[in-house]
Structures are given as structure tokens and as C-alpha cells.
Amino acid sequence: MVSIRTIVNPDDVRRVDAAIAAAESATDAEIVVAVVERAGSHRHAPLVGGIVGALFAVAAQVAVRATAEGIVARIFDVSLLDVGGLAIAGFAIGAWATRRIPALERFFAGDAALYEECDEKAAQLYAEHEVWRTRARHGVMVCVALHERMVVIRADEAVETRVGEAALAAVADAVGDALVAGPVPDALIVAAERLGAVLSPAFPKTASDLNELPNHLLVIPAPT
């Protein structure tokens, strides 16, 4: 997997920072944008991939040895030693391929498990960066997980009440579409712009507004 520092370079960070500042210029709400290289370990995915690999290897052996005339005999001609060895080899190859190929890991992990780990990562970042500590409880974070290709939005209670889950979900969908369609930094800019657009009517800019959270993109590499 390409390093997040290559995908999002310092110039990109400055562009996203400017987009966050521009979005906040029209609202009292606080916007935090985070991009995460990898949200979770998905430890069950290689296990599932290994099991599939083992089953495929055994099935392939049976298919190769079977013939139209003597398929039953050929199937029972496969020894337990053959089956065990092939299953072990298939499991090892399946597990290795699942860990090495991101698309396979996502497939075997499953969307529900992927989203759960992305949501947990977003919650962790939301707490660590104290997005919840604004005076008016109007902080919101959008977390973009690159490996998982998922977008999660965490919002404080005032944002959820005034903006609503549907509007926030629409922002997440728009960011996800941008992530598929173009460069990652452009999707992060879309995140700031779309959040600004839905927050400004609910939390219009006032003269007493304070910038309570840094307008700086959070770039989170995968754990080493």
C-alpha cells in the first residue's frame, strides 16, 4: 500500500487547511477533517481468506482427479494426506494473499466489520482531539479511511439536532463519491466544503465566534 504521506503531501495539506478555514468563515461550527491510512487491523479477514483458499485447493484437486466415467471412484481415491496437505497449502496462500491484496482484505472483512472499525477509529480521534469540547457543542469531524475506502462523520449533539443525520449522511456519501472519482486531497476538500454548506444555515457566523479547534488536516499513518 502506498504511504499516506505520498498520497497527501504538504501542499495538499495546505489546500485542505484553506478549505476548512473557508468553510468555517461562514459558520460558527467547528470542522475537523481527518484522513487515516488504515482504520483497523481486520484480523478476521486473513482467516476467512485462508479457509476459502483451503476449500478451493481441495476442490480443485478433486476436480482434476475426477473423470466423467469414474467421478465417485476418483473422489474417494483422494487420500486424507492429500487433502490435509492441500488444505494447509491453500490456507497459507489464501491468508497471505488476503493480507497482501487490499481488495481481497476488504472483501473478506465485509462491509459491516469494516464500517465498525472505521467508526471506532473516528470515535477515538474525535475524543483525542477534543472535538466535543466546543462551548456550543457544535464540533463535527469527518474521518476518511483510505484502506477501507469509507467515510465516517462524528458530530456533537447540537450538530446532530440542528443538521440531522440525513444531511450528515449525504455529506459522507458525497465525500465517498469524490474519493472514488478523483485524488484523495480533492475528496478532503469536498468534505470541508460540504460540511460548511450544511453547517452554515444551522450555525450562521456571528461576531462573537471563536476558532476553538485548529483548522488543520489530521493525517494519521497506519500503525507500524
pTM of structure? 0.80
In this structure, the answer to whether residues 128 and 26 fall within a common structural domain is: yes
Q: Around Cβ 77, how many Cβ atoms within 10 Å?
A: 12
pLDDT for 14 equals 95
In this structure, the answer to whether residues 49 and 33 fall within a common structural domain is: no
pLDDT for 223 equals 74
C-alpha to C-alpha distance for 62 and 167, rounded to whole angstroms: 53
pLDDT for 77 equals 53
- Residue 134 lies in domain: 4-41+110-220
In this structure, the answer to whether residues 102 and 133 fall within a common structural domain is: no
In this structure, the answer to whether residues 200 and 139 fall within a common structural domain is: yes
In this structure, the answer to whether residues 22 and 129 fall within a common structural domain is: yes
In this structure, the answer to whether residues 206 and 135 fall within a common structural domain is: yes
CA atoms within 13 A on the CB side of 149: 16
pLDDT for 52 equals 80
In this structure, the answer to whether residues 74 and 147 fall within a common structural domain is: no
In this structure, the answer to whether residues 138 and 210 fall within a common structural domain is: yes
**Which grid coordinates belong to 168?**
450528515
Domain ends where: 90, 109, 128?
109
Domain ends where: 83, 109, 135?
109
In this structure, the answer to whether residues 124 and 203 fall within a common structural domain is: yes
pLDDT for 174 equals 96
Residues contacting 102, CB < 8 A, separation 6+? 1, 147
Domain ends where: 57, 78, 109?
109
pLDDT for 68 equals 46
Low-confidence ranges of the chain (pLDDT < 70): 1-2, 61-83, 224
In this structure, the answer to whether residues 72 and 86 fall within a common structural domain is: yes
pLDDT for 21 equals 96
Choose among 96, 3, 80, 14: nearest CA to 47.
96
What is the total count of domains within the chain?
2
